[in-house]
A = this chain, B = another copy of it.
């Protein structure tokens, strides 16, 4: 079966996010004064061939831990849907 893993990666709370800060300032310059804190991370989708949802989640988690996320500075969340 084919699954789609959607992975959201964000800088951990409390760590510096200069890109988020820069975007936040630009929001004000655009007149969007109702926008407060901004965080900028990565969004990654993986197509996974797997027997079930649990195994697909495990593959996505290995990919996150070994390659996609820097676990010292970033946290990730994984959504799995059947394709």
Contact = CB atoms under 8 A, between A and B. Distances in A.
11 contacts: A8-B43, A10-B43, A30-B66, A32-B59, A34-B49, A34-B59, A35-B47, A36-B46, A39-B44, A42-B42, A43-B43
| Majority SS at the chain A contact face | strand
Nearest to A9: B43
Nearest to A2: B36
Nearest to A76: B43
| Copies of this protein chain in the complex | 2
A23 B47 contact: no
A9 B43 CA distance: 7
Interface in A30-72: 30, 32, 34-50, 59, 62-63, 66-68
A49 B49 CA distance: 41
A80 interface: no
